[in-house]
Amino acid sequence: MGAPRLGLPADKIALARELASRIAAPVMEYVSRHTTVSIERATLRLLGADGADARGVPVPNLAVDSLRGRLENGAALYYVNALIAKGLTPGGLNRAIASGLDISTIELGDLERISREAHALLEAVFARIEANAALRRRREKEWEGKAKSPLLYLIVATGNIYEDVKQARAAARQGADAIAVIRATAQSLLDYVPHGATTEGIGGTYATQENFRIMREALDEVAEEEGRYIYLVNYSSGLCMPEIAVMGALERLDMLLNDSMYGILFRDINMYRTFADQHFSRMIIAAADMAINTGEDNYLTTSDAWEKACTVLASQFINERFALAAGLPHRLIGLGHAFEMNPGMKNGFLYELAQACMAREIFPDCPLKYMPPTKFMSGDIFMGYAMNTMFNLLSKVSGQSIHLLGMLTEAIHNPFLQDRYLALENAMYVMNNAADLGDEIAFREDGMIIRRALEVLNQAVSFLEEVDRLGLFEAIERGLFAEIKRPRLGGKGLEGVVRKSPAYWNPVLERMENRPAAKEGD
């Protein structure tokens, strides 16, 4: 299904992309000169580091923590050297590290042999990752006749992975296409990934590799029953962004929420740490053929959707540029936006339609993720149901790709199973009845919808010009995005950023950087 055309000026869109490229360039130059503890832990995970000690401290953390003062050379050097020196498999070395072995004390051996061993380990792990991607593509093709547009996206958030499985299976059988397992509150601020299956979490369920495996297996079972692919979603964000990307790649997750600035603005994570981790995580996501979902919808929880719509579009351009630099093609760059106009605004639906069609026209090959109304939701479930119905209609008409369903009890409590059922019934009814409406609509050239879209695009270009003049780091310090100020030397995790030495070596980066960067036309 198409979406109504706005006829936006191509030169303005091209200028916005050029500005985004200029804004990203100094950030990428910084990223190229630095590593982080989470990048190094993610690298070790790809080389086989796994498990935890008796206290529950993960082996990747134990290994990297023992190398403080030497991380500028890269953790892979010492981990693979220990494998060779001790004559161990990764499993054996992990048990030794968990029992107290300090890999920093082992004398370095032949560097060429270390490199060969590392690349042999990576060949095996990337073969697994590529097999996961091939399986996803094969099943999508096999079941493409049952695929919905947009995909209907629901969340589960019990805190117990086994309870999440029950709710996820029920949602998928009722018609959900994508299941997002919400993470435990504040997991993004933990500088480690818990090990194993978890059954206690406040506000959500911990992201762990075992939890990913359990949910993937459950959704695959339902997919076989239903004859359609069920997408699994989690969060590659926070202080362990690269590690979660690796775990998602290994367990065949399909989408990861991964935004260039979300952690900085909304979790007060240091900007240098975030940008370095974000680039590495996106390279892994690209290699695994997963999609990202960005978080521009969050801007409108702190800023007004009418006044600050241009910041959403500007951030989409910046997120696109960083994603392309990491090798993600447009088909995997899921850009976020939201239906968040004040419901009391006259013609608010028309302005929402303008902005949704604008995003679709500017990013035609991106799987846009559209978020439901949340900021103005109240305890009136009947009003909430009406708002979600309008949102469902607009999403279908404007050709969105991923549709996060609104819940009638959003403002009261975590949704019950019946709340999800009603949300799915509403969306499927509306979208079926308006299936081809977008192809039947044409907008007046002098009408308010096209005027609004042009206004937002022009404001976004001006905003990007200001960010380009200041530089992205200073723009964030001044609170240009989401009206939240973050100091460049503040926030959580700065102590985990390390400047690379001339001898820095990372075999994962060697492999990733040999992949061609994505181009704007991809």
Q: What is the DSSP string of 280-309?
A: HHHHHHHHTTPEEE--GGGHHHHS-TTTTH
Measured distance CA(433)–CA(401) in Å, rounded: 18
Rg (CA), the chain: 23
Please identify which of the residues 272, 289, 299, 369 carries the catalytic annotation. 369
Please identify which of the residues 78, 153, 262, 272 carries the catalytic annotation. 262
Q: Angle at CA 83, nearest 5°, toward 77 and 89?
A: 135
Report in angstroms the alpha-carbon separations of 354 from 7, 237, 313, 339, 385. Answer: 12, 30, 12, 11, 22
Our answer to whether residue 262 is catalytic in this structure is yes
Q: What is the DSSP string of 90-158?
A: HHHHHHHHHTT--GGGSPP--HHHHHHHHHHHHHHHHHHHHHHHHHHHHHHHHTGGG--SSEEEEEE--
Phi, psi angles (nearest 5°) of residue 10: -65, -35
Our answer to whether residue 369 is catalytic in this structure is yes
Residue with tokens 């693979």: 80
Our answer to whether residue 277 is catalytic in this structure is no
Measured distance CA(311)–CA(361) in Å, rounded: 17
Please identify which of the residues 50, 277, 297, 419 carries the catalytic annotation. 297
CA nearest 504: which of 26, 70, 42, 63? 70
Half-sphere exposure at residue 513, Cβ-oriented, CA atoms within 13 angstroms: 9
CA nearest 117: which of 145, 81, 146, 148? 81
CA nearest 410: which of 322, 337, 339? 339
Close Cβ partners of 163 (under 8 Å, ≥ 6 residues apart): none
C-beta atoms surrounding 156 within 10 Å: 25
Report in angstroms the alpha-carbon separations of 383 from 387, 407, 408, 421. Answer: 6, 11, 8, 18
Q: Residues for the chain: how many in total?
A: 522
* Residues 267/238, Cβ–Cβ less than 8 Å: yes
* Catalytic residue list: 262, 297, 369
